[in-house]
Amino acid sequence: MTDQDRLGERFRVATEAIREAGARGLHFFRNRDELDITSKGVQDTVSNADRELEAMIRGRLEAAFPNDAFFGEESGRGEGDLENGIWVVDPIDGTDCFVHSIPVWCVSIAFLVGKDVEIGLIYDPNADELFAARRGHGATVNGVPMKVAEATSFRDGLFSIGYSMRRPYGGTVDIFERLLAEDAMFQRNGSGALALAYVAAGRYIGYYEAHINSWDCLAAIGLIREAGGWTNDFLAGDGLFSGNVIAACAAGLEGPMREVCRLG
Ligand code: IPD
Ligand code: CA
């Protein structure tokens, strides 16, 4: 078996796992009485659905690829060897939307080898949209090739910006001001992973968040790169395990994006 065959097999298993987890998530979403919601901190919730979905995905991936490393939002790091590659999983991104009955959430699975996102999968069960990429093989949504927007200025489409309590709000306010001064029109849908998938699909022209975790954005970084877009070096420093700033956009917007987000 070649390395490509092995990656193809991982892609197949992960695709099955993400669809299965998405279907189970949709069941919980439609049956709120089965949800047990608790707080992890200020404006940070979790439910039994998040934990169950992560356990499903992790169980499937570890059974099929026992030597791969694993890192998930709810269960943390596994025992596998980072040298073999690492699965990075968010079972429900957009948990606050999920628990408040807003249909904007998704499941996200990435497979990273070294600094390369080899597989990026994001599944939105409400829209039944599967965003998928394999490095060097392009990116698709429900099997249809996708590419980033043609934008070259912030006037050319919708921009998304995320925010969490993990960073002081002042920095985000400054970026907002600069974006508005450039005539940007912004949205925040409540799921960083899905918003970033929309950048890959050309629906948003870009996304910025002062701090995001790898489980929220790595799959989408794989999608955006395969769809011809630009992202900052999210994995710089300890981005994988501690998170980092994320900036991602249409290729033609890289210059203005670096300027507005002060990324040098
Ligand atoms: C959050 C969402 C949100 C983003 C935060 C994330 P969660 O993840 O992606 O849009 O702004 O940084 O923590 O809590 O819904 O899994
Ligand atoms: Ca998340």
Q: Spell out the domains of the chain, with CATH numbers in brackets.
A: 3-145 (3.30.540.10), 154-260 (3.40.190.80)
Which ligand has an atom closest to residue 190 CA?
A: 1
Distance 243 CA to ligand 1 centre (A): 12
Q: Place 4 in a pLDDT band, splitting at 50, 70 and 90.
A: confident
pLDDT classification of 186: cutoffs 50, 70, 90: very high
| DSSP for the chain, written as a single string | --HHHHHHHHHHHHHHHHHHHHHHHHHHHH-GGG--EEEEETTEEEEHHHHHHHHHHHHHHHHH-TTEEEEETTTEE-SSEEEEEEEEEEEEE-HHHHHTT-S--EEEEEEEETTEEEEEEEEETTTTEEEEEETTS-EEETTEE------SSGGGSEEEE---TTS-HHHHHHHHHHHHHTT-EEE--S-HHHHHHHHHTTSEEEEEEEEE-HHHHHHHHHHHHHTT-EE--TTTTTHHHH-EEEEEE-GGGHHHHHHHTT--
Over residues 230-262, the pLDDT tens digits come to 999 999 999 999 999 999 999 999 999 999 999
Closest Cα to atom 4 of ligand 1: 192
How many whole angstroms from 119 Cα to the centroid of ligand 2?
18
pLDDT for 1 equals 81
| pTM for the full predicted model | 0.97
User: Quick check: CB of 50 below 6 Å from ligand 1?
Assistant: no
pLDDT of residue 43: 86
Tens digits of per-residue pLDDT, 117-153? 999 999 999 999 999 999 999 999 999 999 999 999 9
Residue 223: what pLDDT? 98
